[in-house]
Amino acid sequence: MQSSAFLDYVDPWVNWTWLESHVPLFVDALQQHLTLTAIAVAGGLALSLPLGIAAHRWRALRNPLLGFFGVVYTIPSLALFALLVPYTGLSIVTAEIGLIGYTVLILVRNLLIGLESVPPDVLDAADGMGYRPLARLAFVELPLALPAMFAGVRIATVTTIGLVTITALIGLGGLGQLINKGLIENFHTPLVVATALSIALALVADLTLVGLQRVAVPWSRDAPR
């Protein structure tokens, strides 16, 4: 049977010529990916710090708080976005409510682990030195909880970078957009390159945070991971 050149064409996994001429597409996607991730982690931190400190101080809050965000965490992201879409539309708000909600469980859990790991002797010593509760929290407990907190930020960041790809289905997605493009157009290059970039971005972000932690929190050598 005679076949046309069109049917003989095999889509390579990476078409380098196409890739070279479409670099801006990837730069834009990467930028959106980073922005969505940064908002999620920053928003998660802004929520988790007060919540975690409150749950540490008032133990009764602890189980309801972890329970609620545990339930949120269990909801698959696509379902959570879909539940929000009728109310907040195909928007960044929808994406961020979900992404921030997921980071809170990770961050609060790690903040609590950090605060609980402060040795009682240290607290006694701080009390003996005349620290008021708020000063003790700010200058003794939180610095000692920082290593565990950093571990939480790392997990939250890597997790969010993976989840951002799914927001492609609500019109965002960062690199996920290009994965979607690959799916819709049956075109390997954007799919493979965007997936690889997403993995690379997560690993680079993780290493960057490790480096940052070494510099900012040099007492965290044996931090939990």
Residues at the site binding other proteins, with contacts judged by CB under 8 A: 70-71, 73-80, 82-83, 85-86, 102, 105-106, 109, 155, 158-159, 161-163, 165-166, 168-169, 175-176, 179-180, 182-183, 186, 188, 191-192, 194-195, 198-199, 202-203, 206, 225
Smallest separation (angstroms) from other proteins to the CB of 86:
5
Min dist. Cβ of residue 133 to other proteins (A): 25
C-alpha distances (whole Å) from 216 to each of 112, 150, 208, 211, 220 are: 20, 10, 12, 9, 9
CB neighbourhood size of 224 (10 A): 13
Q: What is the largest CA-CA distance in the chain?
A: 91
C-beta closer to other proteins: residue 118 or 205:
205
Whether the CA torsion 123, 125, 127, 131 is positive or negative: it is negative
| Contact between 77 and 98 (Cβ < 8 Å) | yes
Q: Least distance from C-beta 3 to other proteins, angstroms? A: 19
* Nearest CB to other proteins, comparing residues 92 and 140: 92
Q: Which is nearer to other proteins, 136 or 154 (CB)?
A: 154
Q: Which is nearer to other proteins, 53 or 99 (CB)?
A: 99
CA dihedral 71, 62, 222, 139 (to 10 degrees): 130
> Please, what is the minimum distance in Å from the beta carbon of residue 180 to other proteins?
8
Q: What is the DSSP letter of 22?
A: T
